[in-house]
């Protein structure tokens, strides 16, 4: 059965290569998805169709796995992905107030990416930096022991970077 | 780490003392000596007996005797068996496995090889969270070094034993810590648990006998073999031997990882090692066991910590998260926080967990909104018991624990929310109101300017007033007021 696929030939070839590197083995589906997400930044429906064809499984099965695991996303992240740790240690030290402040300043909900593509907002479960609670990650950079007043500074820091580049 | 007197490092023995990216450092600290002695003795059952007699129990939470688990896997015959290391550390507030993998990766590889020899497996798999990039990097370096040194791969020590280790990556699903779900995830499927039996020791990865142990459990193995089971069994309580690593966090002065002998009391951990409650506030509860555990009160402070005592107290050991809470924490909100976690992480396969936990969350939410009734409290109790009895896997069977333990230990606080419509800790937004004391307010307008919704009105130099209908209870005004004129009622 042929499926209409809109992604570029280059992307398609790359995904095929990824599948091939795991010998098109269905047991390696999660590893294939990890590599594909590393490459594209997210897992659009078309990419899942290519993977399904290559591994010889249904698109529904691929989508079932993508939607099951929180690490996989079908929405592209912002240039500066903001993740607020909602682990227990951060929670008892006020992570919820930090999250509310980000929501308020960025006018975004958890799981959304801004229209300008600059920021996306996510909550995650424990980065294992409980000693620094409450913790926020912007990309790979860790901000610890935050108060609500610090949130505006963080947002402005990246807004300035975003506008000057 | 301060206060070393109370601590005893077995699982964390090398963390911070050796260079984890240098195999020679590990070997200089008796590394791979246990594997050599096991292979030279060439008697798998004798090694299994040592582990059995040591009394080591699974450190991932369940506390199943490790030696017994190995014995069952060794007695199931098959052409291929697997050893799996569960490094899918998903409890919020726990990071002991990450520290071991990053600080002492070779100890895990060595223990897995010993396990492989004992049960007759030639393949090992480490299921690790993709969120731990440094641990992954160090494991990959360690595997390569061990292969080059002939300590993994074919014909280890020239004694005819073959053992390879590969990594499998998780993708962010808490339920994958459950061993049947973990195995499905390793096979590339949705990480949904299946009914036991068959146990993984009978039919696990790719349908072959598989032994699954947690990182911390494995970290104990080489030491037990080198120092003997008598030494290990001399530490701890009657039914829980050895030490346990805890991640101490929350409202406490010294946060971080600690390793203490089983049988230590919560008071020693919180006050002597942890340095007491932050800002000299009053201790309220300590949460152990993560989303499957419960909140323990002051009356349990002198109870010796071991698997069985914690279960009797209505909590559990879990993987070792230990969150200390003070008088400013609302226990209904804490229970709601854990239910929120469970609802999000439930895989959805069985209805008690998928629907039941959602209903529990909704009732708790209703109570924190000030709309709860006494019947709701009965519903909470009954529903919790039904979920415990009927859920398919460990996640669902333990998910009501935070509700049951807070109801048991903080019944008065629930009633106060329901009957008086007040939150004693001042945490539940809907149940508190901000009031300006007109005697203290000088009309500086700072609060009115800080208010994000314009709910504060008043003339300059005249006492201000908060419009309760518009107030979103964010607390911004309290932070700005220099005259302590705004209080929470």
Task: Tell me, yes or no, whether B217 and B320 share the same domain.
Answer: no
Task: Tell me, yes or no, whether B382 and B300 share the same domain.
Answer: no
**Rounded distance between C-alpha atoms, residue B123 and residue B121, angstroms:** 6
Closest residue, chain A, to B328 (C-alpha): A92
Consecutive H or E run containing B167: strand B161-169
> What does the pLDDT look like over A33-79, one tens digit per residue?
999 998 998 999 999 999 999 999 999 999 999 999 988 999 888 88
The ipTM assigned to this model is 0.84
Task: Tell me, yes or no, whether A59 and A102 share the same domain.
Answer: no
A158 inside domain: yes
> What does the pLDDT look like over B440-466, one tens digit per residue?
999 999 999 988 888 999 999 999 999
- DSSP state letters, A121-144: EEEES--S-GGG-S-EEETTEEE-
A129 inside domain: yes
pLDDT at B1: 44
Domain limit, last residue, from B375, B397, B420 = B420
Mean pLDDT of B104-124: 98
Residues of chain A neighbouring B174 (CB-CB closer than 8 A): 125
A-contacting residues in B 167-186 (Cβ below 8 Å): 168-174, 185
A-contacting residues in B 333-362 (Cβ below 8 Å): 334, 337-338, 341, 347
Q: How is residue B161 written in tokens?
A: 């034993």
The answer, yes or no, to whether residue A91 has pLDDT greater than 90, is: no
Are the Cβ atoms of B190 and A91 closer than 8 angstroms? no
Q: How confident is the model at residue A3 (pLDDT cuts 50, 70, 90)?
A: low
Q: Does A57 touch chain B (CB under 8 A)?
A: no
Q: Does A133 touch chain B (CB under 8 A)?
A: yes
Task: Tell me, yes or no, whether B20 and B148 share the same domain.
Answer: yes
Closest residue, chain B, to A73 (C-alpha): B171
CA angle A82–B289–B219, rounded 5-degree value: 90
Residues of chain B neighbouring A64 (CB-CB closer than 8 A): 190
B131 inside domain: yes
Contact present, A66 and A33 (Cβ < 8 Å): yes
> What does the pLDDT look like over B12-53, one tens digit per residue?
999 999 999 999 999 999 999 999 999 999 999 999 999 999
Q: A94: exposed, middle or buried (C-beta count within 10 Å: 0-12, 13-18, 19+)?
A: middle
CATH number at residue A100: 3.40.30.10
Task: Tell me, yes or no, whether B249 and B225 share the same domain.
Answer: no
Q: Does B452 touch chain A (CB under 8 A)?
A: yes
pLDDT at A21: 96
Task: Tell me, yes or no, whether A87 and A146 share the same domain.
Answer: yes
Q: How is residue B479 written in tokens?
A: 């932070």
Task: Tell me, yes or no, whether B140 and B275 share the same domain.
Answer: no
Q: What is the mean pLDDT of chain B?
A: 94
Contact present, B478 and B451 (Cβ < 8 Å): no
Residues of chain B neighbouring A98 (CB-CB closer than 8 A): none
Task: Tell me, yes or no, whether A89 and A62 share the same domain.
Answer: no
Q: Max alpha carbon distance in chain B (Å)?
A: 89
Residue environment code for B176-197, b if the CB has 16+ CB neighbours within 10 A, otherwise e: bbbbbbbbbbbbbbbbbbeeee
Count: domains in chain B: 4
Mean pLDDT of B301-323: 92
Contacts of B196 (CB under 8 A, 6+ apart): B180
pLDDT at A1: 45
Q: Does B93 touch chain A (CB under 8 A)?
A: yes
Q: How is residue A143 written in tokens?
A: 């901000």
Task: Tell me, yes or no, whether B225 and B279 share the same domain.
Answer: no
The answer, yes or no, to whether residue A4 has pLDDT greater than 80, is: no
Task: Tell me, yes or no, whether B197 and B228 share the same domain.
Answer: yes
**Rounded distance between C-alpha atoms, residue B211 and residue B295, angstroms:** 32
Domain limit, last residue, from B326, B359, B384 = B326
**Rounded distance between C-alpha atoms, residue B213 and residue B126, angstroms:** 10
Between these two residues, B487 and B67, which has the higher pLDDT value? B67
Mean pLDDT of A84-95: 87
Residues of chain B neighbouring A87 (CB-CB closer than 8 A): 92-93
B237 inside domain: no
- Alpha-carbon distances, residue B191 vs A67, B60, B171, B204, B289 (angstroms): 11, 18, 10, 14, 22
Q: How is residue A108 written in tokens?
A: 């975004």
Q: Any alpha helices (H) in B179-319, and if so which ranges?
A: 179-186, 215-227, 229-233, 266-267, 307-312
- Ranges assigned E (strand) in B55-160: 82-87, 123-128, 153-156
CATH number at residue B478: 3.30.70.20
Q: How many CB atoms lie within 10 A of CB B96?
A: 28
Phi, psi of B276 (to 5 degrees): 85, 180
A4 inside domain: no
Contact present, A74 and A38 (Cβ < 8 Å): no
Domain limit, last residue, from A22, A37, A68 = A68
CATH number at residue B275: 3.10.20.600
Partner residue opposite B249 with nearest CB, options A70, A89, A100: A89
Task: Tell me, yes or no, whether B443 and B363 share the same domain.
Answer: no
Mean pLDDT of B404-418: 96
The radius of gyration computed from the CA coordinates of chain A, to the nearest angstrom, equals 18
Q: How confident is the model at residue B389 (pLDDT cuts 50, 70, 90)?
A: very high
Contact present, A77 and A42 (Cβ < 8 Å): yes
Task: Tell me, yes or no, whether A157 and A89 share the same domain.
Answer: yes
pLDDT at B104: 97
pLDDT at B4: 66
Closest residue, chain A, to B256 (C-alpha): A131
Q: Does B283 touch chain A (CB under 8 A)?
A: no
Task: Tell me, yes or no, whether B312 and B414 share the same domain.
Answer: no
The answer, yes or no, to whether residue B311 has pLDDT greater than 60, is: yes
B119 inside domain: yes
Are the Cβ atoms of A89 and B323 closer than 8 angstroms? yes
Count: domains in chain A: 2
Partner residue opposite A88 with nearest CB, options B132, B187, B287: B287
Mean pLDDT of B202-218: 96
The closest alpha carbon to A89, from A131, A124, A144, A151, belongs to A131
Alpha carbon distance, N-terminus to C-terminus of chain A: 45
Task: Tell me, yes or no, whether B39 and B87 share the same domain.
Answer: yes
Closest residue, chain B, to A147 (C-alpha): B479
A120 inside domain: yes
> What does the pLDDT look like over B259-277, one tens digit per residue?
999 999 999 999 999 999 9
Partner residue opposite B93 with nearest CB, options A29, A30, A126: A126
Are the Cβ atoms of A131 and B131 closer than 8 angstroms? no
The answer, yes or no, to whether residue B216 has pLDDT greater than 50, is: yes
CATH number at residue A48: 1.10.10
Q: How is residue B32 written in tokens?
A: 């791979």
pLDDT at B62: 82
Task: Tell me, yes or no, whether A94 and A132 share the same domain.
Answer: yes
Task: Give, as one character, the DSSP assignment of residue B236.
Answer: B
Q: How confident is the model at residue B95 (pLDDT cuts 50, 70, 90)?
A: confident
B83 inside domain: yes
Q: Any alpha helices (H) in B215-306, and if so which ranges?
A: 215-227, 229-233, 266-267
Distance of CA B234 to the CA centre of its chain: 26
**Rounded distance between C-alpha atoms, residue B159 and residue B117, angstroms:** 11
Residues of chain A neighbouring B123 (CB-CB closer than 8 A): none
The closest alpha carbon to B328, from B406, B389, B231, B251, belongs to B251
Mean pLDDT of B383-404: 95
Mean pLDDT of B64-93: 94
Task: Tell me, yes or no, whether B384 and B413 share the same domain.
Answer: yes
Q: How is residue B3 written in tokens?
A: 């206060």
Query: Which range of residues forms the domain containing residue B162?
Result: 4-232
Sign of CA dihedral B449, B450, B455, B458: negative
Are the Cβ atoms of B255 and A126 closer than 8 angstroms? no
B474 inside domain: yes
Q: Does B474 touch chain A (CB under 8 A)?
A: yes
Domain limit, last residue, from B399, B420, B441 = B420
Consecutive H or E run containing B261: strand B256-261
CATH number at residue B370: 1.20.1440.230
The answer, yes or no, to whether residue B360 has pLDDT greater than 50, is: yes
> What does the pLDDT look like over A123-164, one tens digit per residue?
887 777 777 889 999 988 889 999 999 999 999 999 888 765
Partner residue opposite A92 with nearest CB, options B171, B250, B290: B250
**Rounded distance between C-alpha atoms, residue B253 and residue B275, angstroms:** 5
pLDDT at A129: 78
B63 inside domain: yes
- Closest-CA distance of chain A to residue B206, Å: 10
Query: Which range of residues forms the domain containing residue A35?
Result: 9-68
Sign of CA dihedral A19, A22, A25, A27: negative
Mean pLDDT of B479-486: 90
Task: Give, as one character, the DSSP assignment of residue B93.
Answer: T
| Helices B66-75 and B105-119: angle between axes, nearest 10 degrees | 40
- DSSP state letters, B15-29: TTTS-TT-HHHHHHT
Q: Does B232 touch chain A (CB under 8 A)?
A: no
The closest alpha carbon to B173, from A30, A99, A22, belongs to A30
A74 inside domain: no
SS3 per residue for A58-90: CHHHHHHHHHHCCCCCCCCCCCEEEEEECCHHH
The answer, yes or no, to whether residue B187 has pLDDT greater than 80, is: yes
């Amino acid at each position: 059965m042929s499926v209409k696929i809109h992604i570029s030939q280059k992307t398609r070839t790359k995904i095929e290569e990824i599948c091939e590197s795991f010998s098109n083995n269905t047991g390696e589906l999660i590893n294939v998805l990890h590599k594909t997400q590393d490459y594209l930044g997210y897992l659009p429906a078309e990419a899942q169709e290519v993977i399904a064809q290559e591994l010889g499984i249904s698109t529904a099965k691929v989508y079932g796995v993508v939607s099951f695991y929180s690490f996989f996303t079908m929405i592209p992240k912002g240039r500066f992905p903001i993740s607020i740790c909602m682990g227990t240690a951060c929670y008892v030290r006020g992570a919820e107030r930090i999250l509310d402040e980000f929501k308020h300043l960025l006018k975004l909900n958890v799981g959304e990416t801004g229209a300008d593509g600059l920021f996306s907002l996510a909550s995650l479960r424990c980065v294992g930096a409980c000693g620094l609670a409450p913790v926020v990650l912007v990309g790979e950079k860790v901000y610890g022991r935050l108060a609500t007043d610090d949130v505006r500074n963080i947002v402005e820091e990246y807004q300035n970077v975003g506008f000057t580049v | 780490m301060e206060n070393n007197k109370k601590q005893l490092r077995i699982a964390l023995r090398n963390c911070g003392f050796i260079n984890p990216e240098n195999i020679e450092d590990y070997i200089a600290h008796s590394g791979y000596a246990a594997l050599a002695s096991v292979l030279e003795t060439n008697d798998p059952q004798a090694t299994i007996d040592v582990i059995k007699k040591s009394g080591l129990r699974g450190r991932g939470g369940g506390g199943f005797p490790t030696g017994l688990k190995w014995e069952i896997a060794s007695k199931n015959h098959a052409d291929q068996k697997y050893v799996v290391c569960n490094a899918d550390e998903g409890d919020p507030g726990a990071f002991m496995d990450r520290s071991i993998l990053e600080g002492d990766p070779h100890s895990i590889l060595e223990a897995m090889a010993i396990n492989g020899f004992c049960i007759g497996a030639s393949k090992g798999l480490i299921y690790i969270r993709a969120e731990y990039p440094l641990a992954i990097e160090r494991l990959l370096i360690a595997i390569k070094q061990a292969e080059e040194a002939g300590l993994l791969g074919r014909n280890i020590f020239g004694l005819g034993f073959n053992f390879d280790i590969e990594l499998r990556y998780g993708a962010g699903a808490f339920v994958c810590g459950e061993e049947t779900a973990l195995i499905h995830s390793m096979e590339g499927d949705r990480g949904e648990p299946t009914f036991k039996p068959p146990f993984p020791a009978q039919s696990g990865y790719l349908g072959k006998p598989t032994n699954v142990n947690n990182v911390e459990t494995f970290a104990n193995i080489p030491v037990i073999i080198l120092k003997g089971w008598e030494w290990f069994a001399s530490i701890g309580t009657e039914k829980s031997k050895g030490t346990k690593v805890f991640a101490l966090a929350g409202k406490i002065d010294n946060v971080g990882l600690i390793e203490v002998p089983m049988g230590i009391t919560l008071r020693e951990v919180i006050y002597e090692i942890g340095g007491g409650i932050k800002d000299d506030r009053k201790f309220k509860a300590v949460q152990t066991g993560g989303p499957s555990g419960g909140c323990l009160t002051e009356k349990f402070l002198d109870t010796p910590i071991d698997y069985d005592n914690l279960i009797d107290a209505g909590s559990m050991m879990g993987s070792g998260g230990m969150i200390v809470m003070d008088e400013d924490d609302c226990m209904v909100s804490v229970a709601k926080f854990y239910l929120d976690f469970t609802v999000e992480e439930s895989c959805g396969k069985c209805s008690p967990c998928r629907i039941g936990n959602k209903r529990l969350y909704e009732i708790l939410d209703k109570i924190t909104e000030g709309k709860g009734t006494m019947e709701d409290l009965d519903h909470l109790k009954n529903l919790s018991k039904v979920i415990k009895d009927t859920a398919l896997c460990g996640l669902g069977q333990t998910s009501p624990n935070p509700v049951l333990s807070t109801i048991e230990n903080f019944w008065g606080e629930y009633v106060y929310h329901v009957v008086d419509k007040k939150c004693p800790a001042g945490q539940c937004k809907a149940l508190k109101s901000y009031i300006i004391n007109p005697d203290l307010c000088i009309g500086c307008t700072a609060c009115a300017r800080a208010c994000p919704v314009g709910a504060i009105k008043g003339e300059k130099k005249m006492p201000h007033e908060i419009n309760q209908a518009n107030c979103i209870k964010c607390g911004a005004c309290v932070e700005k007021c220099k005259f302590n004129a705004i209080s929470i009622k």
